[in-house]
Amino acid sequence: MTFTVPEIAWAPLAPVLIVLGAAVVGVLVEAFVPRRVRRPVQLGLTLAALAGAVVAVALLWDEVADTGGTDVLGGSLLVDGPTLVLWATTAVLALLAVLVVADRTSTGEDAFAPQGAAVPGSGYEEAARAAGLQQTEVYPLVLFATGGMLIFPATGDLLTLFVALEVLSLPLYLLTGLSRRRRLLSQEASMKYFLLGSFASALLLFGIALLYGFSGSLRYAEIADAVRTVGGMDGLLLAGSLLVLAGLLFKVGAVPFHSWTPDVYQGAPTPITGLMAACTKVAAFGALVRVMYTVVPDLRWDLEPVLWTVAIATMAVGTVVALVQTDIKRVLAYSSIAHAGFVLTGVVALVQSGITAVLFYLLAYGAATVGAFGIVSLVRERGAVRPGARTGAGAAARVPALASAGSTADVVGTGAGAGAAAAAEDRAGVGTGAGAGPAGADADGEEPPVEATGPVLGEATHLSQWAGLGRTNPVLATTFALFLLSFAGIPLTAGFTGKFAVFSAAVEGGAWPLAVVGVVASAAAAFFYVRIIVLMFFTSPHGGPRDDADEEARPGAVVVTSQGFAVVAIAACAALTILLGVLPGPVLDAVAGVAQLLP
Amino acid sequence: MTLTNYLVLSGILFSIGAATVLLRRNAIIVFMGVELMLNATNLALVTFSRLHGDLTGQVMAFFVMVVAAAEVVVGLAIIVSIFRTRKSASVDDINLLKS
């Protein structure tokens, strides 16, 4: 028996290798570089790797545009036009998201827990915070996730698809649980994401097993051949492809697999939410398009009713439920569900222009998303300082039932988990005693006097806190309004071009009812985007919608100054949004020129 | 053919795993349900591999094992950190995030 050394074309793999290689180096940096310089080293490495991936894609572009692409690693990875577009989109969006991740703002703290393993509210956590520990492991984790996202849409067989799915998911589960503030929410989001995500991967995996049983191969091309030729095993084929599609639809957050999206988007650290919302969606839709167009196009008559239902339900649920949300991150989460529905109309169309439309839409949506979450991460609450609370909370160091003034009173009230009702989201000394823990017991009935100079806390995510932001911070609010208009699909923003492209592809593919539903849903969605804009510009502070009893205690919003990273990212996203809206021609042409999937 | 019996068994195990995930309330048990689903899939893959007479399915099964191990590491870390915070691993107690 002889071993044949496989031929590997390294050059087309360069973007993936750069990112994953940098991730491995990042782990070593974590082990060997002294803490003092660890952050600059990690940050430089991460940014360089992602920029390098973009450059590598650019170098590959001409050759792929000429030849139509190559398959590498024996067909496991297909480097064709759509792959390159998705790689470039993912790498650029991840680069911008990392800039937001890196920004410590004027508070000097990043968005991540000083010690992920520390119990929230414990003395250990307080010690870690006081020692000024900062997580730098997030950078390698982000790189691993990005590497998985690069592989995911480029795979040519189901084995690589599954492994890439896990490589992109596992770091995201961890990152979701590492928020510095509102740690209970963050851990809960992480657990929900993990349990539902692993359930979805198990479904996908069983689908893979059934497709393998049907065709005797894991390669997309060979499965597609078997779909045409093999008869008599339609049950295996249909069940297998439906399960695989279910796994992919979970990742894009389509109804009925959307229930994790709002919780995870709300609980995760905001910069990570931006990364997740933009890049995961790009990768998952890339994989979905490839599966739909190259593996099961001959099943379209069987799958179409299912996918039509999913697309319509996704648009409807995302839009309708977003209307009644009061938390800005949840609004953006439901908006992302609605957008998943819009992109699905382009996928379901199953025409050539659908690929171009989906690729363009993902770039437009991703740019606005990273920017919007970047802005959310800068709008913070200012805590109320109540004299005496510090000693009260400090004495009960075991479980100081801390809550920042008002905004988490609901959190503490419901967190009756066996005496540990600690929504220990912020530092000691800002508790209002709203919880039932030992530290809060002495504070019943006292109204905390609000000082104007309380410490800056977590993000001010409640919509009422955004009232009047346009008067105090016009530039920031205008930029946010721009992203919202792009989400809404107003002309001269990237969102309009994207929506126009997917809906016209849907009409071309005969899916005009989907386009009609999409237009109606866009119109309805425009209402709540415009409502936020009205809230920011035409409502005085504290004059926003009131929905619950603890409204009075909700602190106002304050905008922290960025260190510069986030500003660069937000400005780049805004520029991209305008550029793709005003002059979409060159990008659309470039994408359309290479939008040919390898079989 | 007797090999189909393995497929039936794999289907049953997968269904038990899925039902466990959907019905049980303890996060650890839910997670065990996921693992059962993955292992049922492995059985199906190996059986199909035998049916088709090629090794791809067995290779896939090895990859699934590796990935499942990585998933255990991440999953238990998350569940343990939640348990230490709340002294409970019930998924019903985890309900702070609601619209």
Nearest chain A Cα distance for residue B33, angstroms: 9
A446 lies in some domain: no
Q: How far is CA A70 from CA A13, A64, A146, A596, in A?
A: 11, 8, 22, 12
Give me the pLDDT at residue A453, please. Answer: 61
Q: Which residues of B touch A117 (CB under 8 A)?
A: 81
Nearest chain B Cα distance for residue A359, angstroms: 30
Each residue's pLDDT, cut to its tens digit, for chain B (99 residues) gives 688 899 999 999 999 999 999 999 899 999 999 999 999 999 999 999 999 999 999 999 999 999 999 999 999 999 999 888 887 777 776 667 664
Give me the pLDDT at residue A598, please. Answer: 83
Q: Rounded distance, CA A168 to CA A220, Å?
A: 21
Q: Assess contact for A358 and A503: CB atoms under 8 A.
A: no
Is the CB of B20 inside 8 Å of chain A's CB atoms? no
Q: Please report which confidence band the pLDDT of residue A421 belongs to, taking 50, 70 and 90 as the band edges.
A: very low
Q: Please report which confidence band the pLDDT of residue A113 belongs to, taking 50, 70 and 90 as the band edges.
A: confident
Q: Which residues of B touch A188 (CB under 8 A)?
A: 82, 94, 96-97
CA B35 to chain centre: 2
Give me the pLDDT at residue A427, please. Answer: 36
A386 lies in some domain: no
Q: How far is CA A189 from CA A167, A260, A318, B98, in A?
A: 19, 8, 19, 11
A526 lies in some domain: yes
A286 lies in some domain: yes
- Mean pLDDT is lowest, of A63-72, A323-332, A544-553, for A544-553
Q: Please report which confidence band the pLDDT of residue A387 belongs to, taking 50, 70 and 90 as the band edges.
A: very low
Q: Within 13 Å, how many C-alpha atoms sit on residue A508's CB side?
A: 15
Q: What percent of chain A clears pLDDT 90, i.e. is strictly above it? A: 58
Q: What percent of chain A clears pLDDT 70, i.e. is strictly above it? A: 86
A388 lies in some domain: no
The most confident of the ranges A401-410, A463-472, A547-556 is: A463-472
- Which ranges in A71-157 belong to alpha helices (H)? 81-102, 123-130, 138-151
Q: How far is CA B72 from CA A171, B68, B78, in A?
A: 13, 6, 10
What's the pTM? 0.88
A230 lies in some domain: yes
Q: Residue A381's CB: how many other CB atoms inside 10 A?
A: 27
Q: Complex ipTM, two decimals? A: 0.94
Q: Please report which confidence band the pLDDT of residue A404 belongs to, taking 50, 70 and 90 as the band edges.
A: very low
Q: Between chains, do A192 and B94 touch, taking CB under 8 Å as contact?
A: yes
- Mean pLDDT is lowest, of A29-33, A380-384, A589-593, B72-76, for A380-384
The identity of residue B62, as a single letter, is F
Closest CA to A527 of A491, A494, A496, A484: A484
Q: Assess contact for A211 and A237: CB atoms under 8 A.
A: yes
Q: Between chains, do A173 and B37 touch, taking CB under 8 Å as contact?
A: no
Give me the pLDDT at residue B94, please. Answer: 67
Q: Between chains, do B64 and A162 touch, taking CB under 8 Å as contact?
A: yes
Is the CB of A415 inside 8 Å of chain B's CB atoms? yes
- Mean pLDDT is lowest, of A209-218, A260-269, A461-470, for A461-470
- The three-class DSSP label of residue A233 is coil
Is the CB of A391 inside 8 Å of chain B's CB atoms? no
Q: Between chains, do A209 and B41 touch, taking CB under 8 Å as contact?
A: yes
Q: Flag whether pLDDT at A438 surpasses 70.
A: no
Q: Rounded distance, CA A326 to CA A366, Å?
A: 23
Question: Which of B41, B82, B95 is closest, CB to CB, to A206?
Answer: B41
Q: Residue A75's CB: how many other CB atoms inside 10 A?
A: 18
Q: Rounded distance, CA A140 to CA A43, Å?
A: 10
Q: Which residues of B touch A199 (CB under 8 A)?
A: 18, 21, 34, 37
Q: Assess contact for A181 and B23: CB atoms under 8 A.
A: no
Q: Flag whether pLDDT at A116 surpasses 90.
A: no
Which residues contact residue A546 at a Cβ distance below 8 angstroms, ignoring those fewer than 6 apart? A464
Q: How far is CA A45 from CA A18, A39, A110, in A?
A: 11, 10, 18
What DSSP string runs through A560-574? Answer: PPP-SHHHHHHHHHH
How many separate domains does chain A show? 1
Question: A285: domain range?
Answer: 11-378+476-594
Q: Flag whether pLDDT at A264 surpasses 70.
A: yes
Q: Assess contact for A310 and A249: CB atoms under 8 A.
A: yes
Give me the pLDDT at residue A553, please. Answer: 57
A387 lies in some domain: no
Q: Assess contact for A252 and A285: CB atoms under 8 A.
A: yes
Question: Which of B52, B75, B95 is closest, CB to CB, to A198?
Answer: B75
The identity of residue A310, as a single letter, is V
Q: Flag whether pLDDT at A420 surpasses 70.
A: no
CA torsion A42-A48-A49-A50 (nearest 10°) is 110
A460 lies in some domain: no
